[in-house]
Chain A
Amino acid sequence: MKFALKILPKPEVLDTQGRAVEGALKEQGFDLTSCRVGKYIVLEVPANDSEQALQKAKLMAEKGLYNPLIENYELEQL
Chain B
Amino acid sequence: MKKVGILRFPGTNCDRDIWKSVELQSMQPEWIWYKQSFLPDNYDAYVIPGGFSYGDYLRSGALAALSPAMSCIKEAAKMGKPIFGICNGFQILCEAGLLPGALMRNEKGLFIDQWVNLKLENSSQWSPFSVGQIFKMPMAHADGRFFISEEGYKQLVDKGQIWLTYADNPNGSVGNIAGVMNEAGNVVGMMPHPDRALFSWMGSEDGLEFFQWQDASGVNQ
In the complex, B59 has a CB within 8 A of chain A = yes
Interface residue count on the B side (C-beta < 8 Å) = 21
**Interface of chain B: mostly helix, strand, loop or mixed:** loop
- Interface residues, chain B, CB within 8 Å of chain A? 58-59, 62-63, 65-66, 95, 101-102, 104-109, 145, 147-149, 152, 172
Chain A, interface size category, equals 10 to 19
Contact call B65/A16, Cβ cutoff below 8 A: no
Closest to B63 in A: A64
Binding site for B on A (CB under 8 A): 12-14, 16-17, 19-20, 39, 63-65, 67, 69-70
Residue from B63, B109, B148, B152 in contact with A16 in the complex, judged by beta carbons closer than 8 Å: B109
Q: Note all chain B residues with C-beta closer than 8 A to A14.
A: 104, 107, 145, 172
Complex alpha-carbon distance, A49 and B164, angstroms: 50
* A29 CB, min distance to chain B CBs, angstroms: 22
Task: Flag if A64 contacts B105 (CB, 8 Å).
Answer: no
Contact of A70 with B104 at beta-carbon distance under 8 Å, contacts A16-B109, A64-B95, A65-B58 already known: yes
> Considering the chains assembled together, what is the distance between the CA atoms of A39 and B65 in angstroms?
19
| B62 & A69 in contact (Cβ 8 Å cutoff) | no
Check B62 against A16 for contact (C-beta < 8 Å): no
